[in-house]
Chain A
């Protein structure tokens, strides 16, 4: 079982200004769950509408793959530095 990333560090610096951000993903996950529960009636209606069109299997696959991609993000690091700009993204 892969562990999802707990924190994400984003740092962007331009010529004049820049900012750094530590995103506590472990705190956002319960929030996402709450949003999912709130939206669940709409999701249920969408499933019923698209059921006859055969979209159910594809939608389930997309959800599964997206969840797996999210869980595999731990360890990702993107560090791009130029003379006047810098982009740094790291999933811990």
Chain B
């Protein structure tokens, strides 16, 4: 945006455009800038509105036999996840070490002591873009998304 404004001013300085034209071009650039800002704000608001984490699992037999089969449909409020994550700070240090050790054994280098509240907020904000859609060869489907 600043680049475009600079270019308009350069064109004015080189007498390639008149003052009126430069004014009009700058006005258009400013309008476009505020519109883009508005769109970004709307996107952030939409993210903040995401309220539930949904997990839907349908077994293959459900599709084949018309409604019979295993079906899992879970809806977890994001507020519940946020509050539940606060419990991690209440874990005793020995338990945290055990969890960290168990994760390391599985090849995951993750230390729970480094998990801070601001990181959790960022993590939950990023969850709003999560979408997992797995379809198995037998017709089973797993869907995880935020709505």
Contacts and interface: CB of A to CB of B under 8 A. Distances in A.
Nearest to A78: B74
Nearest to A91: B77
B68 interface: yes
A72 B82 contact: yes
Q: What range describes how many residues of B lie at the interface?
A: 20 to 34
Contacts of B84: 69
Contacts of A81: 70-72
Interface residues of A, number: 20
Interface in A35-81: 58, 61-62, 65, 68-69, 71-81
Contacts of B52: 75
B137 interface: no
Interface in B69-86: 69-77, 79-80, 82-84, 86
Interface of B: 51-52, 68-77, 79-80, 82-84, 86-87, 89-90
The 7 closest A-B pairs by CB, nearest first: A72-B79, A77-B75, A72-B80, A79-B73, A68-B83, A75-B77, A81-B71
A69 B51 CA distance: 15
A30 interface: no
Contacts of B77: 72-76
A73 B68 CA distance: 30
Contact of A82 (B70, B75, B76, B89): B70
A17 interface: no
Given A65-B90, A81-B70, A83-B69, A72 B83 contact: yes
Given A72-B79, A72-B80, A75-B51, A65 B68 contact: no
